[in-house]
Structure 1
């Protein structure tokens, strides 16, 4: 059986570490919103403690099927009340640490899914 590598047109997270995330080999030192459909923008919070309900209202404005929330170096969950705007628009949210969210984003984006990763650095 012959194998061929899959090539995706989606942006790819090519590396990450403490205080940085690389997208298509370009290093970013801020929290990010990255989407398979081309979204790449800083997210206005650096660490979990900076989050507010407004950050999740911002996510609810995106036209996506699922959001991967990378909560920093460990898995932390936002208050359920903050997720109401996402639930009303039937947008799925998966919470995990940022490293896991980076890996999961790459898999879903390569499958052609309409996914956004909201990634905190700390």
Structure 2
């Protein structure tokens, strides 16, 4: 049996996730960021899901998602209701999960050509 590596070339995909970084294609990111199949927005100014508010919704909506995945670190931590309502009021679905689950779900949906955006929260330097 022959094995071949089938790397997606038509969209940005997550290759690896650990507690302090996420690798998108071949680039390791160590600060919170937004990711769509076409674009990465680095240095998203969020260090914890509890910091999220309606003001953070605009940056996500610029990427024109139909669904947003929120990766909240090593554990699933729900953001304030105002943040989630800010997306839902605009007709955008949101799912909250840990970063590893968000990466797997994002890769699956992006591979299906869905309009998905994942918002990854990574701890700031010196935080756990």
Match of 1:104 in 2: 105
Deviation beyond 6 Å, 4+ runs, structure 1 = none
Q: Establish whether residue 120 from structure 1 lines up as the match of residue 127 from structure 2.
A: no
Return the alpha-carbon distance in structure 1 between the equivalents of residues 24 and 31 of structure 2.
Answer: 12
Return the alpha-carbon distance in structure 2 between the equivalents of residues 48 and 82 of structure 1.
Answer: 10
CA contact (8 A) 1:11 1:36 kept: yes
CA contact (8 A) 1:21 1:28 kept: yes
Return the alpha-carbon distance in structure 2 between the equivalents of residues 49 and 82 of structure 1.
Answer: 10
Helix, strand or coil: the match of 1:42?
coil
After TM superposition, the score normalised by the length of structure 2 is 0.81
CA contact (8 A) 1:86 1:92 kept: yes
**5+ unaligned residues in a row in structure 1: which ranges?**
none
CA offset digits 1:30-63 (Å, max 9, x no partner): 0110001324322111223433332234324431
Match of 1:76 in 2: 77
Alignment RMSD (CA, Å): 2.0
Return the alpha-carbon distance in structure 2 between the equivalents of residues 47 and 7 of structure 1.
Answer: 30
Post-superposition offset of 1:8:
4.8
Post-superposition offset of 1:108:
0.5
Is the strand fraction higher in 1 or 2? 1
Return the alpha-carbon distance in structure 1 between the equivalents of residues 32 and 107 of structure 2.
Answer: 17
After TM superposition, the score normalised by the length of structure 1 is 0.84
CA offset digits 1:95-118 (Å, max 9, x no partner): 101111011101111111111000
**5+ unaligned residues in a row in structure 2: which ranges?**
124-128
What is the number of equivalent residue pairs in this alignment? 119
CA contact (8 A) 1:60 1:85 kept: no
Match of 2:29 in 1: 28
Match of 2:18 in 1: 17
